[in-house]
Amino acid sequence: MPETNHQILLVSRPKGAATAANFRMVAVPLAPLAEGEVRVRNHFLSLDPYMRGRMNDRKSYAPPQALGEVMQGGTVGEVVESRNPAWRPGDTVVAMFGWQEYGVSDGSGMRKVDATKVPLSAYLGAVGMPGVTAWYGLHRICGPRAGETVAVSAASGAVGSVVGQLAKRLGCRAVGIAGGPEKCRYVVEKLGLDACVDHKAGRLEADLGAAAPDGIDAYFDNVGGTVLDAAMLSMNAHGRIAICGAIAGYDGQPLRMANPTLILTSRLRIEGFIVSEHMEDWSAALEELGGLVAAGDLKFRESVALGLMSAPEAFLGMLKGRNFGKQLVTLI
């Protein structure tokens, strides 16, 4: 086993857009395990939009990422050393070890997963936090019924792709919004949604109206900004909107809603949510999502950057929409 652990730290707060200069790679010695501890070799790191918000030192639903500390984030990997009888070398686990090669824990915050039927990387995407986010927002907030129209932004991404496919399984018309013709083709041809609108084409409101001629009954938003504004114009009376992200505003000025009076005139219900506050639903969601992925009935796509040193640039690219599907970093 190597004697050092490479890590990426957050060393400064962004002023405007985040840059690679906000991060630094370091190498630290691997300390011997104490009694009860487990060492995990991380195989994949998860890069997620929420991380950008935690880089700021401002009040939010979670404390800011501390400076000089390992960048936080989800991981999947393999136990390589254990002084805890509940964990054995070879166990595959999901944890929150962040941007580093190895993690150490007393076992808390780790979950064993079966990589024989579900690819290990999928536990950071369709069968992980993004998948549960999609499941919860769709079922608990949007509450669509068969025959209704469900729209979702970032429809080719880790969360949006699951939302669209689950909506189709409920018998809904599913309309995606994505950036660029390639992503839109994927959403329709591979994921099976009924239509996809390219928000980069410059006709978002008109195209969304054409894709949802009977209006939108439920909208799942990952983006905010002009995409949310356009969706609200197409919402039917008593429509439901679940908001789990606002990536359009993470690297710039705060977003402002263009037509807030639509909330009243269309009697809309809008609810933001953080999926970690709803742990009571995780077991049911993960069981369903894992079964669908294992059976080949839930499709997903990944953008995989190679090596720990690639994490900052891959993260910055994801914030600009350069990824296609779930953004990961492989360390093996």
pLDDT of residue 252: 67
Q: Do 178 and 106 belong to one domain? A: no
Q: What is the DSSP string of 254-305?
A: PP--S-THHHHHTT-EEEE--GGG-GGGHHHHHHHHHHHHHTT-S---EEEE
The residue assigned the tokens 């390639």 is: 182
Per-residue pLDDT of the chain (332 residues; tens, 9 = 90+): 779 999 999 999 999 899 999 999 999 999 999 999 999 999 999 999 999 989 998 877 778 999 999 999 999 999 999 999 999 999 999 999 999 999 999 999 999 999 999 999 999 999 999 999 999 999 999 999 999 999 999 999 999 999 999 999 999 999 999 999 999 999 999 999 999 999 999 999 999 999 999 999 999 999 999 999 999 999 999 999 999 988 877 776 678 899 999 999 999 999 999 999 999 999 999 999 999 999 999 999 999 999 999 999 999 999 998 999 999 999 98
Sort strands 326-330 and 38-46 into parallel, antiparallel or unpaired.
antiparallel
Q: Residue 235 is encoded by which pair of tokens? A: 């919402």
- What are the contacts of 3-7 at 24+ separation with CB within 8 A? 3/29, 3/30, 4/28, 4/29, 4/30, 5/29, 5/30, 5/100, 5/101, 5/102, 6/100, 6/101, 6/308, 7/70, 7/98, 7/99, 7/100, 7/101, 7/308
Confirm whether 167 is domain-assigned.
Answer: yes
291 domain residue, yes or no = no
Which SS3 state, helix, strand or coil, does residue 222 take?
coil
Indicate whether 137 and 41 sit together in one domain. Answer: no
User: Is 289 part of a structural domain of the chain?
Assistant: no
193 and 305 housed in the same domain: no
Which domain, by its residues, includes 57?
4-125+300-330
- C-alpha–C-alpha distance, residues 77 and 86, integer Å: 16
For residues 164 and 184, give the distance between their C-alpha atoms in angstroms, rounded to a whole number: 12
- Together in a domain, 142 and 203: yes
pTM here?
0.94
Task: Based on the fold, state whether residues 98 and 154 are members of the same structural domain.
Answer: no
Do both 107 and 200 map to the same domain?
no
Q: Say whether both 50 and 116 belong to one domain.
A: yes
Residue 228 sits in a domain whose CATH number is: 3.40.50.720
Cα 195 from Cα 240, distance rounded (Å): 20
Do residues 197 and 242 both lie within one domain?
yes
Question: Is residue 232 situated within a structural domain?
Answer: yes
pLDDT of residue 253: 67
Cα separation, 263 vs 332, in Å, equals 48
Amino acid at 41: R
pLDDT of residue 60: 73
Whole-number Å distance between alpha carbons of 278 and 139? 13
Q: Is residue 292 part of a domain?
A: no
* 109 and 164 in a common domain: no
- Say whether both 114 and 231 belong to one domain: no
Same structural domain for residues 216 and 97?
no
Whether residue 286 lies inside any domain: the answer is: no
In a domain, 86, yes or no: yes
Cα–Cα distance for residue pair 49/153, rounded to 1 Å = 14
- pLDDT score of 205: 96
* CATH number of the CATH domain containing 77: 3.90.180.10
Number of structural domains (the chain) is 2
pLDDT of residue 305: 98
Burial of 269: CB neighbours in 10 Å, binned 0-12, 13-18, 19+: middle
Q: Give the whole-angstrom CA distance, residue 42 versus residue 103.
A: 7
pLDDT at 284: 97
Return the pLDDT at 250: 77
283 assigned to some structural domain: no
